[in-house]
Amino acid sequence: MPAQKPENRVLDAEESFPRERMAALQLERLRKMIDYAKARTPFYEKALAGVSGGDLKSLDDIRRLPVTTKADLRDAYPLGFMAIPRHEIARIHGSSGTTGKMTFVPYSKNDLRNWTRLVARFLCAGGLGPGQLVQISFGYGLFTGGFGLHYGVEEMGSAVVPAASGNTERQLAIIRDLRPDGLVCTPSYALALGEAIRAHGVKPGDLSLKLGFFGGEPWTDEIRRRIEEDTGLFATDNYGLSEVIGPGASGECVERRGMHFSEDHFLVECLDPDTLSPVDEGGRGELVITTLTKEGMPVIRYRTRDIASLNRAPCPCGRTGVRMSRVTGRSDDMLVIRGVNVYPTQIEEALLRVREAAPHYLIEVTRPFAMDEVKVKVEVAPEMFSASMSDMVKLQERLAAAISSVTGIRMTVELVAPHTLERFQGKAKRVSDLRAAPAGKQAARPQ
């Protein structure tokens, strides 16, 4: 049953501001933000020495300011970027990141109000109206997903089932018995839930689910198609990161041609990660985000490490907010294989072109002789699992060819039995990096 496209509705006037009006608002807020951050945080007092907000004559002048990195935040651990007195903190979230120390993010009362509204904006954009019931299967905790979505759903006048993440059988019982209209989780968990729904023999037409709001990690259109096939819902993507707010930085409308940024709260640039100069209009680059209204922890030109492109063309939905493409990867996830840059999402895209492969895979990276070597473990789809050796060899060959056509590189493909790879309840971990394994675990370099 094809997912039904919801009606297009817009929550706030700012979402459809003419671009010039938005640019004027951004410049006014940016100037204030520079002075605010300088006056209240030692980091920006130093980094922005000699600059004041009034010096910026246009938004392009932001390029004269230095960038802020995750390492800068870590150096200021735990709350060195906080710009409000301790008694004004309304909440603290955090992100563990893939490596290293946690980052804590303090919010003021106003920040929480803005955040709630920003989440409601993308929920509305993706089809949620008042009076609906939404199951939130994100973790509730330091991670911004659970609480962020929770208050956004309530802001929309809808109700929440705070299912939190994990316990797939219980999630399915809630879906079956409470009949929610919407589902919120990571795309990889939606995939796992869809798979479990299918395994229970439930047809999408028997489910109540109509809308899915998925985010927190990269995914592809092919994964979206599979989730929709298994569940019958209409799935939209939304993006954000704790350092700038959490979910709610951008989200898809029902056209699903990119995620609209809320530009009244964020100024977004797309830069070449090596030179930090702007990429050509529509080109891929690293998103660099400046918060325009954040009080608790403002960031100026924060390097997200997320690679995507920006599109300023008008959208049929009427929103004018710049649209970002899907994130194709994080610049720190990039693998260099025999000199070629490859992102895990490219490998995913290739695998999912082959119907007999299940959308469950693990990329194992080793560095036996100074170059990255990649082995891709792929589950065979249960209905395709065959005892015939020659069919399996052919499938393996087709997968290797698909990967090679997308990435330009031959990789070793290993087929594994259905349901043998790990399923994820939060963000998926699809790359197993064994390059830093202790000496002796990997082959010695030949002389």
* Residues at the site binding ligand DLL, with contacts judged by CB under 6 A: 95, 143-145, 215-218, 237-242, 246-247, 304, 306, 327, 330
Tell the smallest beta-carbon distance from residue 226 to ligand DLL (Å): 17
* Residue 417 to residue 360: CA distance in whole angstroms: 11
14 — phi, psi (to 5°)? -60, -25
Distance CA 279, CA 359 (A): 32
Cis, peptide link before residue 344, omega less than 30° from 0: no
For the bound state, the minimum distance from the C-beta of residue 126 to ligand DLL, rounded and expressed in Å, comes to: 12
Q: Return the number of the residue (95 or 132) whose C-beta is nearest ligand DLL.
A: 95
Q: Smallest distance from the beta carbon of 400 to ligand DLL, in angstroms?
A: 26
CB of 416 to ligand DLL, least distance (A): 26
Comparing CB distances to ligand DLL, the nearer of 284 and 398 is: 284
Q: CB of residue 224 vs ligand DLL: minimum separation in angstroms?
A: 11
Q: Which is nearer to ligand DLL, 217 or 379 (CB)?
A: 217
State the minimum distance, in angstroms, from the CB of residue 301 to ligand DLL.
15
Q: In the chain, what's the furthest Cα-to-Cα distance? A: 72
Sign of CA dihedral 436, 438, 442, 446: positive
Joined together, the tokens standing for residue 335 give 């693998």
Pick the closer one to ligand DLL by CB: 161 or 327: 327
In angstroms, the CA 262 to CA 304 distance is 16
CB of 330 to ligand DLL, least distance (A): 5
Beta-carbon contacts of 435 under 8 Å, excluding residues fewer than 6 positions away, are 365, 366, 367, 372
The residue count of the chain comes to 447
Residue closer to ligand DLL by CB (options 132, 304) is 304
Residue 227 structure tokens: 């989730």
End-to-end CA distance of the chain: 59
Give 16 or 331: the residue with its C-beta nearer to ligand DLL: 331
Which one, 204 or 247, has the nearer CB to ligand DLL? 247
Strands 373-380 and 357-366: antiparallel
Query: 3-state SS of the chain: helix, strand, coil percent to 5?
Result: 35, 25, 45
Name the nearest CA neighbour of 249 among 233, 268, 227, 223. 268
Closest CB to ligand DLL among residues 38, 323: 323
Give the CB-nearest residue to ligand DLL.
Answer: 215
CB of 143 to ligand DLL, least distance (A): 6
d(CA 16, CA 120): 15
